[in-house]
A and B are shown apart, each in its own frame.
Chain A
Amino acid sequence: MSAHTVPNPLPHSKGGRTHEPFWWSLFSAGGVVAAFVMPVLIFLTGLAGAFGWGAAQEAFTYDHIANLISNPLIKIFLFVCVSLPLFHCAHRIRHSLVDVGLGGIKTPLAVVSYLSAAVLTVFCAFVLLRI
């Protein structure tokens, strides 16, 4: 092509509708939830109890925890806190792996990522309903 001609419009390699906004919406919603609750969840379940700070040692006795989680509102809250961030993480990990050179297996990466998040979400619903 001569440098002075206006190039032709893009040859659209992929037409049709993209479903990327759906996954991005889950990523985004999960990112919001993770930003607001993940630090305190990690702090409480992984550190406060372990070090027995304040009332934390007692709070993690079986009776207290089982009683707490049996509350339907808390179950819903926990389900949201786990499921949405799982899809957030799946999306982010999928895209970062492509960003560091795994673009050749884009589709398998997407399938494995979202499928893992979906399976863990179902597992989450199952364990919460069992308590």
Chain B
Amino acid sequence: MKPPLNRNMGSTWWLSRGAYFLIMLRELSAVFIAAYLVFFLICLYKVGQGPEAYGAYLRFLWSPGMILFHLVALAFALLHMVTWFNATPKAVRVWRGEERVPPALMIGPNYAVWAVITAFIIWVVLK
């Protein structure tokens, strides 16, 4: 007898639907965040080497190509942030008796905390 027909999703599944593609963009955020972290680590390394090395590296970091990279990386970091925060109610369910705390109420505080942390870091660096 013939074996049943195999119709499994192939490795291009993420191209077949908008929702899947968005998931793949979410996963791609990791590539850009990792790349940013490597540039950032090099920057820290240059700080350790002294003012000249640091200055030269800043000129590289602030060149048009790298600014473009940082713009794209920022977009991906924000995508990661939104998808991560919005997944909070999936991973954590909080109950008030028989009622589940609404997902929106689980998501909201993340953004508030994010805003405070962001403002605090900017203040520490720029003060």
Answer yes or no: B77 CB below 8 A from chain A CBs.
yes
Interface flag for B94 (CB, 8 Å) = no
Contacts of A90 in B (CB 8 A): 34
Cα A44 to Cα B27 with chains together (Å): 23
Within 8 A of B (CB), among A23-71: 31-32, 34-47, 49-50, 54-56, 59-60, 62-63, 65-66, 68-69
A127 to chain B, nearest CB (A): 5
Within the assembled complex, what's the spacing in Å between the Cα atoms of A81 and B1?
58
Contact indicator A42/B81 (Cβ below 8 Å)? no
* Given A40-B121, A60-B58, A120-B38, A46-B74 contact (CB < 8 Å): yes
Instruction: Give the number of residues in A that approach B within 8 Å (Cβ atoms).
Output: 51
Residues of B contacting A59 with CB < 8 Å? 125-126
Central interface residue in B12, B30, B113, by most chain A CB within 10 Å: B30
A65 to B47, CA, bound (A): 8
Q: For the complex, would chain B's binding face be called helix, strand, loop or mixed by DSSP majority? A: helix
Type the 1/0 row for A93-125, where 1 means its CB is closer than 8 Å to any CB of B.
101100111000000000000000000100110
**Contacting B41 at CB < 8 Å: which of A35, A38, A99, A120?**
A120
Partner of B67 from the list A50, A68, A95, A99 (CB cut-off 8 Å) is A50
Residues of B within 8 A of A74 (CB): 124
Q: Tell me whether A93 and B30 are in contact (CB under 8 A).
A: yes
B11 touches A (CB below 8 Å)? yes
> Please, how many angstroms separate the alpha-carbon atoms of A90 and B33 in the complex?
10
Q: How many Å lie between the Cα of A89 and that of B77 in the bound state?
A: 12
Residues of A within 8 A of B (CB): 31-32, 34-47, 49-50, 54-56, 59-60, 62-63, 65-66, 68-69, 74, 78, 82, 85-86, 88-90, 92-93, 95-96, 99-101, 120, 123-124, 127-128, 130-131
Give me the interface of B with A, judged by CB distance under 8 Å. 10-14, 24, 27-31, 33-34, 36-41, 43-45, 47-48, 50-51, 54-55, 58, 61-62, 66-67, 69-71, 73-74, 77-78, 80-81, 84-85, 110, 113-114, 117-118, 121-122, 124-126
Give the 10 A-B CB pairs with smallest separation, nearest first. Answer: A101-B11, A46-B70, A92-B30, A50-B62, A89-B34, A96-B27, A89-B30, A62-B51, A35-B84, A38-B77
